[in-house]
Amino acid sequence: HNRGTKGRIQAMKKLIAVLLVTFLGAGCSTVSLGVKDTHAITSEKVSRIDEGSTTVEQLNEMFGKPEMSIPAESGAYYFYKDLSLNSLWVVLDDNLTVKKYTWSN
């Protein structure tokens, strides 16, 4: 009885490992398969962000709809992520203009 349970646990561990490798590999391969990410977060696009003048509409044109938007007392916080898992955090002021931003690639 104990051997059967142990065997099932081993099989489940193997299945979980295979699924993790499959899903993680699929996530990494989307860009290498030639998928064009029109909203990719690139250094060229990020360099066009001007603190104090870039608007939320301009951000959305460059990076698409944010993954997350969090309203704040004065403005909002926007989070963008692309297919390559590059990310961009933006702090917006009351006029929904970029106050500051941080990005990682």
pTM for the complete prediction? Answer: 0.64
Q: 87-92 and 98-104: which strand pairing?
A: antiparallel
Instruction: Output the tens digit of pLDDT for each of the chain's 105 residues.
Output: 555 677 777 777 776 766 666 555 555 544 444 567 888 999 999 999 999 999 999 999 999 999 999 999 999 999 999 888 899 999 999 999 999 999 987
Mode of pairing for the β-strands spanning 87-92 and 68-72: unpaired
> CA quadruple 17, 19, 25, 28: dihedral positive or negative?
negative
